[in-house]
Structure 1
Amino acid sequence: MEDIRFERHFRTPYSEGYYIMQGNSLQNSTRLGTIDIHFTTTAVHGTLILERELEEAELTKLIEQIDEDLVLSADMPRDDFLVSVYVGRDVGFYSDEYFAGESGRGADLSDEDEV
């Protein structure tokens, strides 16, 4: 696919995650999806989450580009590249800070109920 670039989101010794961006410039780009790549001793596993459906030809080109740009460049031996593909939408981002805030509000409500 044309005008695709990958922005690394995280990296561990055996895994990497990338945002897949589409557009010619930083100002004119949108997120197409994400790819998480996990390297094992014999294969590389990918979880590709797209934010919109692609034609089969576009999807296979994208997977080939991921293989060429991200998997092969990692210089890890592999017998196969196995990719699970999902189409969905981003519904939110949650962290410990979010849940700490939620439990703090819950405690405030229960204190009011006791009064």
Structure 2
Amino acid sequence: MKNVISFDREVRTPHSESYTMLDNGEIVGRVDLHIQGPNIHATLCTTPDASDDRIRDLIDAVDEQIAMTADPFREDFIVTVWKGVPAGVYGDAEASEDKINLGEISENS
């Protein structure tokens, strides 16, 4: 039985979206979509141990559930895949438990 991938949207702009990808509540990846007219460019980041079949399942889930354009027909769906581990979330705002302040990095360097 194929697992059902769900998506938790993090950011949306007029031409792009970012999602955390979940499988039974566990994070299995992240996808950033950039919509350019009838084309969609995606960057999919997943775990280092993801098999080719797993990557295909993730791409299919993105394609079936969230890869939509305003045009009636999509011309192309281009996906770049990265395998790796999360290194953290970095930002200018005050640090929280799950975010690292960029100022702290330069101060500690």
Over aligned residue pairs, what C-alpha RMSD do you find?
1.9
- Equivalent in the alignment of 2:10: 9
Letter in 2 for 1:99: L
Aligned length: 98
Q: Which has the larger radius of gyration?
A: 1
Identify which of 84, 89, 92 aligns with 1:88.
84
User: Is the contact between residue 43 and residue 80 of structure 1 (CA under 8 Å) also seen in structure 2?
Assistant: yes
1:4-52, Cα deviation, whole Å (9 max, x unpaired) = 11000100000000000111xxxxx211010000000231000000023
User: Is the contact between residue 50 and residue 83 of structure 2 (CA under 8 Å) also seen in structure 1?
Assistant: no
Q: What are the ranges of 5 or more consecutive residues in structure 1 without an aligned counterpart?
A: 24-28, 107-115
Q: Pick closer, same or farther for the CA change 1:101–1:42 going to 2, 3 Å.
A: same
Matches within 5 A, 1:12-51: 12-23=13-24, 29-51=25-47
Distance in 2 (alpha carbons) for counterparts of 1:57 and 1:88: 17
Offset of residue 92 of structure 1: 1.4
The answer to whether the aligner puts 1:76 opposite 2:70 as a matched pair is yes
Q: Pick closer, same or farther for the CA change 1:80–1:101 going to 2, 3 Å.
A: same
The answer to whether the aligner puts 1:99 opposite 2:102 as a matched pair is yes
Q: Secondary structure at the match of 1:46?
A: strand
**Identical pairs, percent:** 30
TM-score, normalization by structure 1 = 0.74
Structure that is richer in strand per residue: 2
User: Is the contact between residue 39 and residue 76 of structure 1 (CA under 8 Å) also seen in structure 2?
Assistant: no
TM-score, normalization by structure 2 = 0.78
Q: What are the ranges of 5 or more consecutive residues in structure 2 without an aligned counterpart?
A: 94-100
Letter in 2 for 1:82: I
